[in-house]
Chains A and B, each alone.
Chain A
Amino acid sequence: MAEGLRIVVCVKQVPDLSVKVAEPLRSNGTINRAAFPAIINPDDLCALEMGLLIREVRGGRVKVVSMGPPTAAEALRDCLCRGADEAILICDSRFAGSDTFATAVILAAAMRRIGSVDLILCGRQTADGDTGQVGPELAGLLGLPQITRISELMSIERGHVLARRNLDESTQIVEAPLPCLLTVNRGANLPRIQNARLTGRFKKARAPSEVQGQGIEQLRQKGLLIEEWSADDLGIESHQCGIEGSPTRIAMVEAMSVAQSQQVEIPATEAGMDDLVRMLAAKGII
């Protein structure tokens, strides 16, 4: 590994649910994605930051991969502006409706196409789906060791990763041999912002589907082409992706709302805190 580590970071474009919008839900109870600005999933940004920090110490290249519609190229541009070396958009209308398993199948095919990889980094979970399944499924499909829910990368040397896992009530320190897959917790680091010089350059990067085939060669020559792979490029059959390839079925979606009468205001005082503890204990919550 004299040339440094080959790192791939998986990112997803998600709606920024912290923004207040007029109609956050569609009539069927699902998120009204069009109403929210699109951002890179916050956990994935921590995964990217971890990849960039490893590169700073160990050298190598950081590739970012995103499966999504053509608009997901914006998330990849954002990653390039933050310092990623290359970007690949996995995009095909046949992928629409893929659940976590089908997504992992598609990403696994992408990883095989990329070839030799030392480290795959994913966010722990996405802000929209919240399942935390894609990373572990991807590792399973690729037959790679994995360390999930990482709060700290302690070392990466002699072909091994040592990382701290942050579980709800404990932490574990786990070692795994490379190549392996890590899923990174939000808060594991403070992701860097877009670099001004890289922004001037990579804001012009485009995926082929964004330019409809025009000027691809020119983009390639300038190092501004975002690779784009379809189902055919990855050898994915229709029955392996989309709704057909997804074992998950949504039985029902219910919108939860908390009524005003269920809210209790707790004064920020010692006495208020005592009351809160007593109240939670009385309800058996703690």
Chain B
Amino acid sequence: MPDFFNDNPSLASLLNDPDLRTIVDLQENLYRDAARFDYAPEDYEDAVDTYRRVLTALGKMAADEIAPSAADVDRFGCSIRDGRVEYADATGRTIKRLGQAGMMGFTVSREWGGLNFPNAIFAAATEIVSRADASLMNLFGLQGVAETIEKYGDETQKARYLKPLAEGKLTGAMALTEPDAGSDLGSARLKATQDGERWRLHGVKRFITNGCAEVVLVLARSEDKSADARGLSLFLCEQCPQLKVRRIEAKLGIHGSPTCELQFDGVPAELMGRRRYGLIAYVIELLNGARLAVAAQSVGIAESALRDALAFVETRRQFNSSVRDFPPIRHRLTEMIRKIEGARALVLGTAIRVDLLRNIERLSKNGLLMEHPEGERLQAQIRPLGKLIGCMTSLAKYYAGEICNEVASDAISVMGGSGYMRDYAAERHFRDARITNIYEGTTEMQVIGAIGGIMSGILEGEFERLHDTSPDASSNDIKNRIGEARKLLAETVDFLRHHDDRAYTELSARMVVDIAAEICIAYLLLRRSGENERNRIIAEKHVRDMLPKVRMRTELVRSGDRTCLDCGDVLFRH
């Protein structure tokens, strides 16, 4: 029986990652839940065994049910009638079945009916779902809404919403974007006014994934005279007559996911957490989760595109030869594989670090951290880990979104004219891929998010740790090459610091981020290079190809060329 988890050893090997034990031990609070919940694990092996079983069940469902319906979901999409949004048949059915299987509350704690799985396992699940149907991930991935309610909601809100969300009986949405507030969320204008004890929301939100959800988290301006991020709070509201779906967008891809325009005409709402913390604390965290989910979605789409291309070239013959034997095709396929493996390593590696921080913070908040044998050491990690995660999440979202588009495009190139036709899924992957480097923060925003951690040396500290824990068996040549790339990165960062030209730093940031991503991936691939021949080849190929690209980018940054800044409007008139 096909199974999108176990047929992908690279993904399945997450369960063998040595860092997983650390986070699961923390996540399970040394397995004390086992006394309270009959489905909680008794030890690490028990926990991992359950992860494997659940991901296998999801992997089979993805292969058997979700993937075969994806073309129909894409063709028929969602619809709206009298303000009521309807999913494609298969989408509605699948969400219900995932809820029935207890898989709509992956990271919600057991107390509220969830599975209490780490983010890393949720990221793997997200990749599996996205490989089957990219658009389904947009609904599956909204589990972050429950996570936010659990973390910042009051007890009444938790009791009212968490269990039904975890069981899939309710779905969630996060309403952030407005017609004039996209990347610049701090300028959001949707107004929250106080009506006695109750808040009411007035305004418009746009591009809201699953805006028809029963539970909506809304970013709104609660402070009357404010104009920036500090005047925004997070609210929770339910579907009601005052909340109207004005329309759903007609879009290029992810047709199964309803993208709604919402009109708030005095919608009753409750404050979530503290006033003024909406954007600067809660939404930033919510978005970081969503970015990681989109990064995992990107890997899933790319994996599907790759497999379609591999299946195609297996039988396709031209000039009396298998297409797979043509050097340019072999090169393209190798690059697709290398990029996917790199993105997956980055996504899962980031998710593991998110889990580490989340759990240290949770234990610290509950006063349990010092009971942990390494409590003090872990406590000291909170601040640097927070900064590292901010950087790595942006790095993962940026890299995965970009390579997803490249791989989806390459799959069509490998398949030639056939890939362009609707007879194959490649064209759907290409359309679905296109959003991944736009939503939940564009590539440009991710570069800004990542560059701070690179310039400040936060990422370099992580490289040092990765270097020290890299397998001894790896060849010195590989480690030396990565070391040389790090040296070039440090020199480039130094150059920018001394150059002291903010616009130029922004101009060069993407190339610097590219260098950092390649180095980070090199270490992560190196860690798994001893597992099998495939991993060894991929890691060595990545490191070999990396250095010339790093040199090129270093040279470009250090050229100081400001043409596109200095040319005024000469090039940009239309």
Cβ of B53 and Cβ of A198 under 8 Å apart? no
> Does B132 sit at the interface, judged by CB under 8 A?
no
With A16-B1, A192-B97 known as contacts, the answer to whether A197 contacts B102 (CB < 8 A) is yes
Cβ of A203 and Cβ of B1 under 8 Å apart? no
In the bound complex, residues from chain A placing their C-beta under 8 Å from that of B329 are: none
> Does A133 sit at the interface, judged by CB under 8 A?
no
0/1 string, A171-205, CB within 8 A of B gives 1: 00000000000000000001011111111110100
In the bound complex, residues from chain B placing their C-beta under 8 Å from that of A199 are: 39, 50, 53-54, 57
The complex places the Cα of A192 from the Cα of B97 at a distance, in Å, of 7
Cβ of A193 and Cβ of B101 under 8 Å apart? yes
In the bound complex, residues from chain A placing their C-beta under 8 Å from that of B100 are: 192, 195
The complex places the Cα of A198 from the Cα of B360 at a distance, in Å, of 28
The complex places the Cα of A199 from the Cα of B100 at a distance, in Å, of 13
> Does B49 sit at the interface, judged by CB under 8 A?
yes
- By secondary structure, the B interface counts as helix
In the bound complex, residues from chain A placing their C-beta under 8 Å from that of B15 are: none
> Does B478 sit at the interface, judged by CB under 8 A?
no
The complex places the Cα of A193 from the Cα of B103 at a distance, in Å, of 11
The complex places the Cα of A193 from the Cα of B61 at a distance, in Å, of 7
Report A38 CB to chain B, min CB distance, Å. Answer: 11
Cβ of A196 and Cβ of B1 under 8 Å apart? no
> Does A18 sit at the interface, judged by CB under 8 A?
yes
| Beta-carbon nearest neighbor of B64 in chain A | A193
In the bound complex, residues from chain B placing their C-beta under 8 Å from that of A196 are: 50, 54, 57, 101-103, 115
State the interface size on chain B (CB cutoff 8 A).
21
> Does A19 sit at the interface, judged by CB under 8 A?
yes
In the bound complex, residues from chain B placing their C-beta under 8 Å from that of A18 are: 1
State the interface size on chain A (CB cutoff 8 A).
19
Report B420 CB to chain A, min CB distance, Å. Answer: 19
Cβ of A195 and Cβ of B102 under 8 Å apart? yes
With A195-B100, A195-B102, A196-B102 known as contacts, the answer to whether A203 contacts B115 (CB < 8 A) is no
Report A53 CB to chain B, min CB distance, Å. Answer: 11
Cβ of A192 and Cβ of B49 under 8 Å apart? no
Cβ of B103 and Cβ of A203 under 8 Å apart? no
With A16-B1, A197-B115 known as contacts, the answer to whether A192 contacts B101 (CB < 8 A) is yes
Cβ of B38 and Cβ of A195 under 8 Å apart? no
The complex places the Cα of A65 from the Cα of B499 at a distance, in Å, of 76
From A39, A195, A223, contact of B101 by CB (8 A): A195
| Beta-carbon nearest neighbor of A18 in chain B | B1
From A39, A193, A198, contact of B39 by CB (8 A): A198
> Which of A192, A194, A197 gathers the greatest number of chain B CB atoms within 10 Å?
A197
The complex places the Cα of A16 from the Cα of B93 at a distance, in Å, of 26
In the bound complex, residues from chain A placing their C-beta under 8 Å from that of B58 are: 193
Cβ of A194 and Cβ of B53 under 8 Å apart? yes
> Does A220 sit at the interface, judged by CB under 8 A?
no
Cβ of A201 and Cβ of B54 under 8 Å apart? no
The complex places the Cα of A195 from the Cα of B168 at a distance, in Å, of 12
Residues 47-106 of B contacting A (Cβ, < 8 Å) = 49-50, 53-54, 57-58, 60-61, 65, 93, 97, 100-103
Cβ of B57 and Cβ of A194 under 8 Å apart? yes
Residues on B close to A: CB < 8 A?
Answer: 1, 38-41, 49-50, 53-54, 57-58, 60-61, 65, 93, 97, 100-103, 115
Task: List 5 contacting pairs A-B, 8 Å CB cutoff, sorted by A.
Answer: A190-B97, A196-B102, A197-B102, A198-B102, A199-B50
Residues on A close to B: CB < 8 A?
Answer: 16, 18-19, 37, 39, 190, 192-201, 203, 222-223
17 new A-B pairs (CB below 8 Å) besides A196-B101, A199-B54? A190-B65, A193-B58, A193-B61, A195-B100, A196-B50, A196-B102, A196-B103, A197-B39, A197-B102, A197-B115, A198-B102, A199-B50, A199-B57, A200-B38, A200-B39, A201-B39, A223-B38
